Chain A
Amino acid sequence: MPASAARLPVVLAAADLDALVQALAGRGYRVLGPVARDGAIVIDDVRHAADLPIGLEDVQGPGRYRLERREHDAFFAFTVGPHSWKQTFHVPVERLFQIRRHKEGFSVLPDATPRLHVALLGARACEIHAIEIQDRILIHGEHPDPRYAARRGDVFVVAVNCMRAGNTCFCASMGTGPRAERGFDLALTELIESGAHRFLIEIGSDEGAAVAAELPVRPANPEEIGAAASVSERTAAAMGRRLDTSGLKERLQKNLEHPRWDDVATRCLACGNCTMVCPTCFCVEFEDTTDLSGETAERTKRWESCFTLGFSHVHGGSVRSSIKARYRQWLTHKLAGWHDQFGSSGCVGCGRCITWCPVGIDITEEAAAVGLPEKDG
């Protein structure tokens, strides 16, 4: 079958979405996707299309997140929640090795390389960019992380193009969404019109084409292709928040002593929520422990935040003891130093750090204010 013919968009009736879940499961994938739990949409196993948060929308704002039921039966009417796919590949906690003590000294017993065979159902454009960013750091850098690379080795991505912009979203200004342009096997746009609820499916890979071939689909017509494009256009146009990135890196790096850092430090609690929900923040801590007998030790790696006091600890104390210095570190690393280190911004505009900040600090506002003349009063 010629690849080009196999890659034309197709249409799947919404009632048949479960066929996609089953086709992925049938290929041995563990299907992960959005489910509603504890008042939020989180990532978990999806066994049936009915497990998805049907009819739910999230209402987000700085420091605010609520789920509300709507008078529709959309599968993907919400935007991103507190979880990201980071937890799937760059896992929050993992043991790296054990060490056994013996007469000759000690032996290192590495934990088995992890194996994953997962399908991401409902990855948004910003999240696909976030995964690409983490890949650049953890796979394509000078020192690849073999455990991360192993987890990323066998992944099927079903993208979903956002039909709504969340109140804290700003992907359009970051060039990372709302439409998934690459990095997927299949990309879904949910189309809901009176009497017709269906998905336009774009095909991004040979395996995507093979999966689509197992579904009860038909070729998309030009109206449906146009309707899908206008979903993304409407979402982009509805996005109220933006981050002006022109000259931002230089402006931040030249203004390390700007008074705005003192201002934000009076609000920031240094809780680290922003770094935990951020889909690109990659910092980790290592913990070495021994068992009670003292014969076996192990090293565990876990997510760490640059907002903790211990993060920058050297002999004599922490380099960044003030909250001002820690917020400045996070923001300048994310939006400026990241370019020097990894060739792109570390921000994909998903807005999670704004929503999940307990005091509603808005990265777009802070970034815009640093370097500007101080406001009176």
Chain B
Amino acid sequence: MTVSSAPDPMLPEPLRIARAKRETHGVFTFELDVSARGGFPFLPGQFNMLYPFGAGESAISISSDPHQPDRLEHTIRAVGAVTRAIERLGRGDVVGVRGPFGSAWPIREAEGRDLVVIAGGIGLAPLRPVVYHALRRREAFGKVALLYGTRTPDDILYRKEIERWRGRLDVEVEVTVDTAGSDWRGNTGVVTKLISRAAFDPGRAFAMICGPEIMMRFCARELERLGVSLDRIWITMERNMRCGTGLCGHCQFGPSFVCKDGPVYRYDRVQDLLLVREV
């Protein structure tokens, strides 16, 4: 029998941090220098396993522009031992990278349709590549809407970029927050409330949602109520992804591996599982 000569997907590749940017309290973005390897091609929605020396690995979605593979960015929330170890790194430090892994948002399938992008909190990071793509190929889509909810105005990611997108006449950008001070002039309340106000044709819209499971469920319910068919609603799942190749078993979700068959799923294929506790 011949032994596979493919490179071992378990080996991290050291990449240097070219730029580090604090987004909000506890959330930061690293751009990695991929010039020596000739770029880092990926599909919107895919993730990498990031390894701060000696501390373990964490699955982090790629948040940069898929049309600019020479710029690889991850937006990370420091919540566990590994992401906190990554947070302590800065420009010039090296992080181990494995990937890209996982399924992608259906950006080709969505062409010619209205596009509704719905993000909750850090869930904007895996959807940012979709927004970049849609803006680059704006003529390929009908109406484009970005609906984004965070806890407070201070938690808004990519603030300058969102302002820039909001300034365009061909994209509808709505931001809502759970709570805000009296100086907040924008929307308050859950992101679901923005859906019925957005201008899109439910009969031809594609929706891509990333956020907590409960938020995605309520968004899908609202979209369905408005007439978006469930096979045009896509979500991402979060599970414990350890290997990225479907071999360690940790990220099983029903009959699938989130790292390989997900993280992006068509809603009608997983909606029953989302209703079962602890799957």
Contact with B along A244-258 (1 / 0, CB 8 A): 000000000100110
A306-B57 contact, Cβ under 8 Å, with A146-B3, A149-B3: no
Are A282 and B247 within 8 A (Cβ)?
A: yes
Are B246 and A142 within 8 A (Cβ)?
A: yes
Contact with A along B244-257 (1 / 0, CB 8 A): 01111110101111
B169 at the interface (CB under 8 A from A): no
Please indicate which of the listed interface residues B8, B13, B14, B16 has the most CB atoms of chain A within 10 Å of its own CB: B8
Pick from A108, A284, A321, A325: contact of B248, CB under 8 Å: A284
Number of interface residues of A (CB under 8 A): 60
Chain B interface: which size bin? 35 or more
CB distance from B93 to the nearest CB of A (A): 8
Contact with A along B235-279 (1 / 0, CB 8 A): 000111011011111101011110010000000000000001111
Are B276 and A257 within 8 A (Cβ)?
A: yes
B199 at the interface (CB under 8 A from A): no
Nearest CB to that of B49 among chain A residues? Answer: A286
**CA of A314 to CA of B243 in the docked complex: distance in angstroms?**
14
A219 at the interface (CB under 8 A from B): no
Residues of A close to B10: CB separation below 8 A: 96-97, 286, 299, 301
A93 at the interface (CB under 8 A from B): no
**CA of A282 to CA of B248 in the docked complex: distance in angstroms?**
7
CB distance from B26 to the nearest CB of A (A): 12
CB distance from A94 to the nearest CB of B (A): 11
**CA of A257 to CA of B273 in the docked complex: distance in angstroms?**
11
Residues of B close to A284: CB separation below 8 A: 243, 247-249
CB distance from A256 to the nearest CB of B (A): 5
A106-B255 contact, Cβ under 8 Å, with A138-B247, A288-B56, A304-B248: no
A319-B239 contact, Cβ under 8 Å, with A137-B247, A139-B4, A297-B53: yes
Are A321 and B246 within 8 A (Cβ)?
A: no
Residues of A close to B93: CB separation below 8 A: 105
A153-B8 contact, Cβ under 8 Å, with A143-B246, A288-B54, A325-B278: no
**CA of A146 to CA of B7 in the docked complex: distance in angstroms?**
8
Residues of B close to A142: CB separation below 8 A: 245-246, 260
**CA of A145 to CA of B9 in the docked complex: distance in angstroms?**
8
A164 at the interface (CB under 8 A from B): no
Provide the main secondary structure of the chain A interface: mixed
Residues of B close to A340: CB separation below 8 A: 255-256
Residues of B close to A289: CB separation below 8 A: 54
CB distance from B178 to the nearest CB of A (A): 17
Nearest CB to that of A107 among chain B residues? Answer: B14
* B7-41 residues at the A interface, CB under 8 angstroms: 8-14, 16
Residues of A close to B279: CB separation below 8 A: 256, 319-320, 325, 329
Are B4 and A288 within 8 A (Cβ)?
A: no
Pick from A153, A313, A333: contact of B3, CB under 8 Å: A153
Residues of B close to A288: CB separation below 8 A: 51, 54-57
A290 at the interface (CB under 8 A from B): yes
Residues of A close to B186: CB separation below 8 A: none
CB distance from A184 to the nearest CB of B (A): 15
A314-B53 contact, Cβ under 8 Å, with A141-B246, A341-B257: no
**CA of A313 to CA of B80 in the docked complex: distance in angstroms?**
11
**CA of A184 to CA of B252 in the docked complex: distance in angstroms?**
33
Are A108 and B278 within 8 A (Cβ)?
A: no
A319-B11 contact, Cβ under 8 Å, with A139-B4, A144-B4: no
Are B14 and A105 within 8 A (Cβ)?
A: yes
Please indicate which of the listed interface residues A104, A257, A319, A324 has the most CB atoms of chain B within 10 Å of its own CB: A319
Pick from B96, B243, B277: contact of A99, CB under 8 Å: B96
A101 at the interface (CB under 8 A from B): yes
Pick from A141, A152, A339: contact of B1, CB under 8 Å: A152
**CA of A139 to CA of B3 in the docked complex: distance in angstroms?**
9
B79 at the interface (CB under 8 A from A): yes
Are B53 and A101 within 8 A (Cβ)?
A: yes
B214 at the interface (CB under 8 A from A): no
CB distance from A207 to the nearest CB of B (A): 13
14 more CB-based (< 8 A) A-B contacts, given A99-B12, A290-B53: A97-B10, A99-B54, A104-B94, A146-B3, A283-B249, A284-B248, A288-B56, A294-B54, A306-B249, A314-B240, A319-B279, A322-B278, A324-B278, A337-B252
11 contacts between A and B (CB under 8 A): A146-B3, A150-B3, A153-B1, A256-B279, A285-B242, A288-B51, A288-B54, A290-B53, A299-B10, A306-B252, A325-B279
10 shortest interchain CB distances as A-B pairs: A105-B94, A283-B249, A143-B245, A325-B278, A290-B54, A340-B255, A297-B54, A337-B255, A144-B4, A288-B56
Please report B residues at the A interface, Cβ cutoff 8 Å: 1, 3-4, 6, 8-14, 16, 51, 53-57, 79-80, 93-94, 96, 238-240, 242-243, 245-250, 252, 254-257, 260, 276-279
